[in-house]
Structure 1
Amino acid sequence: MVPTFLTLLRPCTAVAAVAVTGAVVATLVAAPASATTPGANGRIAYKQYLDADRTTGAIFTIRPDGTATRQVTRPTAGTVDDQPDWSPDGSLVAFRRCAPDTVCAIYTVHPDGSHLTRLSPPCAATGPDLETKCPDESEVAFMPDGRHVVYTRSTGLVREFPNGEGFIEHSDVVVRDLSGTHSRVILRSRPFAGDNNEMVVSPDGKQIAFRRENSPLTKPAGGIALFVMRSDGSHIRRITPWSLHAGDHPDWSPDGRWILFRSNEDGGFLDSQLYVVHPDGSGRRQVTHVSADTMLLSSSFSPEGTSVVYARSGVGGQPDIFTARLDGSHVRQVTSTSLWDSAPDWGPARS
């Protein structure tokens, strides 16, 4: 009998490479706000592909009014820096870097581009089955104290299923400090059961929202939904119906009352809408009302909590960055390029 989703997920404390102490866990829970940090609206971080073939991507920031664009990272050709996440005080940006012939890794950088720091362990391995030799680490987000991050660590073999999809053996949710030396696995799935990724921490630090995609071994096969768990990996519950196919980097509102997400994530970027839902799964409502042929990508709350930033079809049909109010009104275009701008995260204003 194929086990159900909830039996496949379990908290995991014994498999950490280096366990953190209970005092550190308490700090993560009790610290000030994370997710989109409450405060005045600051700059928006986002990924821009630097070429039409989307082989190289860098992190940029821009003011919400569309001025003062700044390139933060300068990857080598063929490397993609993606999914930026602001630290609670706006002093750092975390992101993932994926380069050819190696695994993805997580980094931090100052908003001016200085002090680029790799948090993932170095990987010198080459050849097939890289994830059996080095962890693939991505989808990084800051914890509330600004001194730890949560991310997805993928390891093991990749199993190919008859439908053509491949799933990694282990998809762990891990917490690591900014030194990169102390980590703790808080959630692991059974082998090849599916992917746990795109985590974001609640403003009070007590809960983590994440996206779950089931493999054919887990019911419903191929299902995609948002889940919420406690920050220690316990009390997991699904908050969106499987029918919405919801995911794509959810974000908590600064007051902790709402989670923002995109629907129909497995259908590419078309026929999608942005929604908000309470952390207990109630009160779901639609934010955007774009046409089915409009590309719609991931999103983030503003620090003031009254607006959202997201990527959608813009110049030449390529995604640009837009902002709108929570009711979908007052849409404003922030970037206008012929390149692909996406993965926005709205940061706090810095004094």
Structure 2
Amino acid sequence: MEDGFPTVGQALGRSCSLSFGFMRFPILLLLLGGLALLPARAQTTLRVTGPPTLLIDADRAEVPVMRPLWSPDGRYLALSGPGYQGLWLYDREDGTLRRLTDAPAAGFGFSWSADGTTLLARVARFEGLRRYNAIVTVDVATGGVQRIGEEQTLMPDLPRWAPDDRHVLLYRRGRVETFDTGKPAVLTPAKAGAPVLLSGGGRLQRVAGTAVTAIHPIPDAEVLNATPSPQGARVAFEVLGGNLYVMNSDGTELVDLGPGHRPRWSPDGRWVVFMRTEDDGYRFTASDLYAAPADGSATVRLTDTAAVLEMNPAWSPDGRWIAFDDHATGDVYLLPVAE
């Protein structure tokens, strides 16, 4: 029992029902039917429309998972295993969870192809104390893993899909490297001409065609978790030891969203969802989810719980749900939202 409320195991035997959600997230009910706004410069209409529902029960699945990421069509969620070990796939149509790969580090910074058939990841292999890194693609239908390029001992940054959904870009040793996955090229009108933002040495590198431009939005700050908006025109990012920001992809119109980590965009590019955490120097002691419009005019608190460590939010393609994991249990939930 925490704060006088039932834990997951005590409440309905870890049921996935809505009644479970009401007991597990009691304070959240105070937010329903209205807005939970921190001091802001403008009113907003984003609201939570119901309690979170349990999607993946770590005890029943016999594995804790984290970092949910929606497929472009909203049918699947790709997830990391514990400690970023391996990749898992949850099918919302039949409720199954299956492992795609158990490769070390695969769960850190993976991404979907635009056609929803393939995951892109950086994986690791160890020989004694030496780490070897490789770029791989994972076929979500078959689980087949294809390595792209040679293993490298130095690969501090993550690969990203190019706009054609076939090539992969990586910033390494001061230059952009391009790899061919062999997939059919798919260049949608929305992606045509869109720049790709790569992280390199704690900075951002803007790749537009053959032009590469270094962007330093905050001098001497190390950029983390840079996440482009759906159309690629803007990017959300955090800085090491600092706040969360939004700016245009060319580095202009910088907006400070305040404290926050691991941003994700709404499908229309108007909102950014993120987490705010507390720790005691050894472990996380609190975490809740927040959202802010990209212009920074408001901050909406989406959860307010003591018994759950809500982390790693991800907005569904239809805009109706925010998936997140509970860091304490490895469970995954869906939070309903609307404007």
TM over 0.5: yes
In structure 2, the CA distance between the partners of 1:226 and 1:143, relative to structure 1 (3 Å rule), is farther
Q: In the alignment, what sits opposite 2:292?
A: 277
In structure 2, the CA distance between the partners of 1:79 and 1:260, relative to structure 1 (3 Å rule), is closer
Shift of 1:41: 2.2
Q: Matched residues in 2 for 1:199 and 1:153: separation?
A: 16
1:72-221 matches, cutoff 5 A: 72-75=100-103, 80-100=106-126, 101-102=130-131, 106-112=135-141, 113-118=143-148, 122-123=151-152, 125=153, 134-138=154-158, 142=161, 145-147=164-166, 170-174=201-205, 184=212, 186-187=214-215, 193-213=220-240
1:57 maps to 2:85: yes
Q: In the alignment, what sits opposite 2:270?
A: 257
| 277-286 or 106-115, which deviates more | 106-115
Q: Matched residues in 2 for 1:137 and 1:36: separation?
A: 22
Question: For structure 2, which runs of at least 5 residues remain unmatched after alignment?
Answer: 1-68, 175-199
Shift of 1:144: 5.5
Amino acid at match of 1:310: F
Q: In the alignment, what sits opposite 2:334?
A: 323
Larger Rg: 2
Q: In the alignment, what sits opposite 1:41?
A: 74
Q: Is the Cα contact below 8 Å between 1:47 and 1:83 reproduced in 2? A: no
Shift of 1:296: 2.5
1:310 maps to 2:307: no
Shift of 1:259: 0.7
Q: Matched residues in 1 for 2:214 and 2:251: separation?
A: 8
SS of 2:334 mapped into structure 1: strand
TM-score (norm 1): 0.57
In structure 2, the CA distance between the partners of 1:58 and 1:252, relative to structure 1 (3 Å rule), is same
Q: Is the Cα contact below 8 Å between 1:144 and 1:204 reproduced in 2? A: no
In structure 2, the CA distance between the partners of 1:304 and 1:80, relative to structure 1 (3 Å rule), is closer
Q: Matched residues in 1 for 2:93 and 2:275: separation?
A: 24
Q: Is the Cα contact below 8 Å between 2:155 and 2:172 reproduced in 1? A: yes
Percent of aligned pairs sharing the same letter: 23
In structure 2, the CA distance between the partners of 1:152 and 1:300, relative to structure 1 (3 Å rule), is farther
| Superposed CA offset, 1:18-65 (max 9, x none) | xxxxxxxxxxxxxxxxx9787x5210000013xxxx4x7110110236
Q: In the alignment, what sits opposite 2:22?
A: none
| 85-94 or 250-259, which deviates more | 85-94
Amino acid at match of 2:144: S
Shift of 1:142: 4.5
Number of aligned residue pairs: 239
Q: Is the Cα contact below 8 Å between 1:43 and 1:63 reproduced in 2? A: yes
SS of 1:137 mapped into structure 2: coil
Shift of 1:109: 2.1
Q: Is the Cα contact below 8 Å between 2:217 and 2:251 reproduced in 1? A: no
Shift of 1:325: 0.7
Question: For structure 1, which runs of at least 5 residues remain unmatched after alignment?
Answer: 1-34, 126-133, 156-168, 214-221, 328-351
Q: Matched residues in 1 for 2:239 and 2:94: separation?
A: 34
In structure 2, the CA distance between the partners of 1:135 and 1:79, relative to structure 1 (3 Å rule), is closer
SS of 2:107 mapped into structure 1: strand
In structure 2, the CA distance between the partners of 1:274 and 1:60, relative to structure 1 (3 Å rule), is same
In structure 2, the CA distance between the partners of 1:82 and 1:135, relative to structure 1 (3 Å rule), is closer
Q: RMSD over aligned Cα, in angstroms?
A: 3.6
